[in-house]
Structure 1
Amino acid sequence: MIEMVIDARRKDLGGFEVGRILPYARRRMVGPFIFLDQMGPAEFAAGSEAINVRPHPHIGLSTLTYLFEGEIMHRDNTGATQAIRPGEVNWMTAGKGIVHSERTDPLKKATGGPMHGMQAWIALPDHREDCDPAFLHYGEDDLPAYDHGGLFARLVAGEAYGASASVQGESPLFYVHWDLQAGVRTAPPPGKGAGGYSERALFVAKGTIEVGDREFHAGQLIVLDPNAEPTVKSVTPSTVMALGGEPVGERLIWWNFVASSQARIDAAKADWQAGRMSLPAEDDLEFIPLPDEPSINATTTGPVEPKPTDPV
């Protein structure tokens, strides 16, 4: 029923913890999901730096930011400036290249408050790797939701349970947020054997759940067998992200760049180093330089264990 369990690798960034889930040495991707981070949970003190990620580039992927608590201000070089709040989605497609920053608004820094959310990277299929960059924001009304009998479910992206979210990827995928009261049972979208998705996983963001006869706790990703049709039961009040889809093929990942070829990675490195990628118009006074040795630097089938780092 279960192929693998991955424990998030936690890193304290000075009052704020990030848990790196994907990529992992023995499991680089789940469907098109090539990167998954849990941001927090944290409680920022008044006057703290909170989220302060300087402008940096991406290629070959879409980023999906989703919050349970808190707020982040996104700015990018397409001209987009957009705050994201709980239950909303910021969907940024890098394609041939985009530069963005993620920061806490100064007014929010002054008051402090909670932060808890997820950031995913979704690798673009071959024919869309060099598409034009774009940014879209989706509110709660754009995301189908269900709330009954102690189960709250929101379809964050893709298609599942006969519903379709406004957030659609470039390849088949699903991304579902569950909040479960203790004792509630539910199930992920069907697997390959039932005519569903080839790859699926469950990430426990909060609480404890049972899958089959095993218990899993906050910070664990449960990669499901393609043919398994498990029931999920919440042992305690829990928050779970169900995710998956169809593979897009092997990908190289170097720092913030994802590509199907080394040539694309090398071109992106040269463009950022030479200043050929413009900064966001409203956030152009600083940026993250190209690293000598990034914390993510491997193919999706390679043996190198990525290390947690700042949110990217």
Structure 2
Amino acid sequence: MRKIKKIHKAISAPIDDLVTYRALPTNSVEYIDPFLFLNHHGPQVYKPNNRGLPFGPHPHRGFETLTFILEGDITHQDTGGGKDVIQAGGVQWMTAGRGLIHAEVSSEEFKKEGGPLEILQLWFNLPAKYKMTEPKYIGLQKDKIPTVTEDGGKVKVNVVSGSWRDTEGPIPSLSDIHMASIELQEGGSFSTSVPAERNIFFYVVRGAVKVNGEKAEKLNLVEFTNEGEEVQVEALEESYILFGHAQPFNEPVVAHGPFVMNTEEEIHEAFRDYQLGKMGSWN
């Protein structure tokens, strides 16, 4: 079995009136190459006539984002031409690449009517060879994400990228990143094998599970070593986890705000390009 290095607790990091827990980076874990950042927004209930999500226009370069909408919705718009409203159960995958400006806000309907909201955003690094690739956006509603059931239906794997068993995820990954969200009923279990050289991403969104013999509960990020391959999971209660794996890039990571590059000079260049309008202009 794959050995567990440490279990980290996400820290409280509210943004305006948005309840937020940050699982990556924290004082105990910087990143799990190439998984850079995870913000867990909610769960919370918005009253009618609210301001919604606070993520107005801002730039990105050098990485990708994957957003899981568990409750509520997101209206996405970017200077690469992407425009979308994704509802609960859907996902958004954005390759920032050489740079764009985007906004992620709540729909007018959600702001007017309110309701429950829970959203997770995960950042993946891009290897140096893809840092300046063309930006791209893919939004998928719940019914476009294939599911695989395990353990007599007690486990449901929503395959986003890469593959699970013989099911391919609908989003092609430049860097062969495999990602899924997994819903488990109490007592449900599954096991899977991940090649030892690949790094595992494992975050408990809701509930509590036993993973390779250790208990992990909501807001826990499980960091594995690169010894062993098998991952065994059993739900101690109804649970929801994010699970993925990828080959580490083993490249320098220099991050400053909305940009993730390999050198300080590339960060300065990103700021210059943004100020010169090379990432597009927001109307």
Judge conservation of contact 2:86–2:140 (CA < 8 Å) in 1.
no
Matches within 5 A, 1:47-126: 47-126=49-128
TM-score for both structures, normalised by structure 1:
0.83
122 and 211 in structure 1: CA distance in 2 versus 1, 3 angstrom threshold: same
- The equivalent residue for 2:47 is 45
Q: CA deviation at 1:38?
A: 1.1
Matches within 5 A, 1:94-173: 94-147=96-149, 148-173=152-177
- Asked if residue 214 in structure 1 is aligned to residue 225 in structure 2, the reply is no
- Where does the alignment leave 5 or more consecutive residues of structure 1 unmatched? 285-312
- The equivalent residue for 1:231 is 232
Q: CA deviation at 1:117?
A: 2.0
**Could you give the per-residue CA deviations for residues 43-74 of structure 1, whole angstroms, max 9, x where no partner exists?**
11111212021100000111111111110100
2: distance between equivalents of 1:59 and 1:14? 24
3-state SS of paired residue (1:267): helix
- The equivalent residue for 1:192 is 195
Identity of aligned residues (%): 25
212 and 132 in structure 1: CA distance in 2 versus 1, 3 angstrom threshold: closer
Matches within 5 A, 1:150-299: 150-187=154-191, 189-193=192-196, 198-226=198-226, 227-248=228-249, 249-280=251-282, 284=283
2: distance between equivalents of 1:162 and 1:245? 18
- The equivalent residue for 2:9 is 7
Q: Select the structure that is richer in strand.
A: 2
Judge conservation of contact 2:8–2:28 (CA < 8 Å) in 1.
no
1: distance between equivalents of 2:23 and 2:217? 14
**Could you give the per-residue CA deviations for residues 122-170 of structure 1, whole angstroms, max 9, x where no partner exists?**
1112211111212222233443202343111111222332322121221
Q: CA deviation at 1:204?
A: 0.5
Judge conservation of contact 1:142–1:165 (CA < 8 Å) in 2.
no
1: distance between equivalents of 2:198 and 2:18? 35
**Could you give the per-residue CA deviations for residues 55-99 of structure 1, whole angstroms, max 9, x where no partner exists?**
000001111111111101001111221011123221211111110
3-state SS of paired residue (1:266): helix
Q: CA deviation at 1:15?
A: 3.7
2: distance between equivalents of 1:18 and 1:270? 30
Residues 253-262 or 148-157, more deviating: 148-157
Judge conservation of contact 1:31–1:200 (CA < 8 Å) in 2.
no
2: distance between equivalents of 1:172 and 1:78? 23
Q: CA deviation at 1:257?
A: 0.3
Which amino acid is 1:207 matched to? G
Residues 269-278 or 101-110, more deviating: 269-278
15 and 146 in structure 1: CA distance in 2 versus 1, 3 angstrom threshold: same
Aligned length: 277
1: distance between equivalents of 2:109 and 2:153? 38
Which amino acid is 2:248 matched to? P
Give the aligned CA root-mean-square deviation in angstroms.
Answer: 1.9
270 and 179 in structure 1: CA distance in 2 versus 1, 3 angstrom threshold: same
Residues 223-232 or 254-263, more deviating: 223-232
Q: CA deviation at 1:112?
A: 0.2
Q: CA deviation at 1:39?
A: 1.5
3-state SS of paired residue (2:76): strand
TM-score for both structures, normalised by structure 2:
0.91
2: distance between equivalents of 1:211 and 1:140? 27
2: distance between equivalents of 1:277 and 1:171? 23
Which amino acid is 1:235 matched to? L
Q: CA deviation at 1:106?
A: 2.1
